[in-house]
Amino acid sequence: MANQYHLSLIQQGSDSWNRWRGQFPEIQPDLKGAELSAVDLRGANLSEVNLTKTILREACLQGATFWQATLRNCDLRRADLSQAHFYQADLRQANLNESNLDQANFGEALLDGTNLANVDLSTVKGLHTTRHAGRSYVDIHTLYRSQGQIPEAFLRGIGVPEHFITYTHSLLHAPIQYFSCFISSSHQDAAFVSRLSADLQNQGIRCWSIFHDLNNETMDLKRIKETIQLHDAWLPVLSEHTLINDRVGREAQAIIDLERLQNRTILFPLCLNQAYLDLTSNIPFPLLQNRQKRNFINWQSPTAYQQAFTELLQDLKKADLKKAN
């Protein structure tokens, strides 16, 4: 059970927390088992803090310091841990699945049963010095995303077989060869979505889709965020059938937040209705104000469709290049 006073302090944010840590450096805070999902603690001093079984899922911990912190069984799934310092931290059984580890430092961190699935380890510092009390876990997504740039000593330490370590060398010049997008639309626009999906697939772009008017009660904010993070581009189809409701608003806000976090374009609106293209009516969709929107109003015309599709394809290829860089 977390110390309630310590919990109340951390909930005030990094500035208040860091001031308190500076005033009382001898105190080792106890946040064991605390629920801190999606909290913003960028730059927080979490050195020597007990974070055993603490839930920090989707938290912003950019630049946070975890020197000698205890993070056993800590839930860090999809957290932003870029530039975080885990020097001599206890990460046994911690779950870092899909977290952002860009420029993080794992110097002398202790691992055992640590989940490092679907993460990019290519820029993580100190991996060759990590300590291993047992096996930890990476998956094929981690190997591909890291493009083979993982120290052999680290791979051996977590228990990767020798022949598989040899295989990872072939990934140095073999980045992921696909780009994925997610199409959100009304089921009444299914014919357009079917055609668009087929054409994108033919161009080597993997596609998934959802009809928001059939699933608006079954996909909560957590699921929306998880789905968005699995894809490189989000294509909302805006037509006379489009539902502008709370779910669509949450979806849009989650995309915008992720764009800011990753500094790249994810949202590519597709207009089947002139009102969305011109924004001349009182449509409650302010996120479109400064967006490049592709005109598919006359999509049933082969010429008009092909022109709009070519422009969309160029947009996605630019996004793919930025992702690769």
State pTM to two decimals: 0.60
Point out the domain boundary residue: 176, 205, 229. Answer: 176
Of 176, 200, 224, which closes a domain? 176
Q: What is the pLDDT of residue 319?
A: 77
Asked if 32 contacts 1 with a C-beta cutoff of 8 angstroms, the reply is: yes
pLDDT value at residue 172: 57
Q: What's the structural domain count of the chain? A: 2
Question: Domain holding 63: CATH number?
Answer: 2.160.20
Q: 11 and 114 share a domain? A: yes
Beta strands in 212-288, from DSSP E residues, in sequence order? 233-238, 270-271
Same domain membership, residue 259 and residue 162: no
Full domain range(s) for residue 303:
179-324
Please check whether residues 58 and 69 belong to one and the same domain: yes
Q: Shortest CA distance to 248 belongs to which of 186, 180, 316, 194? A: 186
Name the DSSP class of 208. E
**Domain end (from 150, 176, 202):** 176
Both 242 and 320 in one domain: the answer is yes
CA-to-CA separations, 9 to 12, 14, 19, 45, 55, in angstroms, rounded: 5, 9, 10, 12, 16
Rounded to 5 degrees, what are φ and ψ at 253?
A: -65, -40
When pLDDT is averaged across residues 107-127 and rounded to a whole number, the result is 96
* Nearest by Cα to 257 from 234, 225, 235: 225
CB proximity list for 291: less than 8 A, separation 6 or greater: 267, 269
- Clarify whether residues 199 and 166 are in a common domain: no
CATH code of the domain containing 194: 3.40.50.2300
Q: What is the dihedral of CA 187, 191, 196, 201, to 10 degrees?
A: 90
Same domain, 211 and 307: yes
Q: Are both 188 and 280 inside the same structural domain? A: yes
Cα gap 176→180, rounded to integer Å:
11
How high is the pLDDT of residue 48?
A: 97
**Band of residue 218 on the pLDDT scale cut at 50, 70, 90:** very low
**What is the band of 209 on the pLDDT scale with cuts at 50, 70, 90?**
confident
- Across 181-192, average pLDDT: 89
pLDDT at 92 over 80: yes
Verify that 37 and 90 share a domain, yes or no. yes
Please name the residues in contact with 281: beta carbons below 8 A apart, sequence gap of 6 or more.
275
Same domain, 211 and 160: no
Q: Which of 3-12, 125-134, 271-280, 292-301 has the lowest mean pLDDT?
A: 271-280
User: 160 vs 241, which has greater pLDDT?
Assistant: 160
Q: Do 227 and 159 fall within a single domain?
A: no
Q: Are residues 211 and 168 in the same domain?
A: no
Per this entry, what is the length of the chain?
325
Query: Both 62 and 193 in a single domain?
Result: no
pLDDT band, residue 165 (cuts 50/70/90): confident
Q: Which helix (H) or strand (E) is 249 found in, with range?
A: helix 246-262
Assess whether pLDDT exceeds 60 at residue 285. Answer: no
Question: What crossing angle do the helices spanning 302-324 and 190-202 adopt, rounded to 10°?
Answer: 50
HSE-up of residue 316 (Cα within 13 Å, Cβ side)? 27
**CA 313 to CA 306: how far, in whole Å?**
10
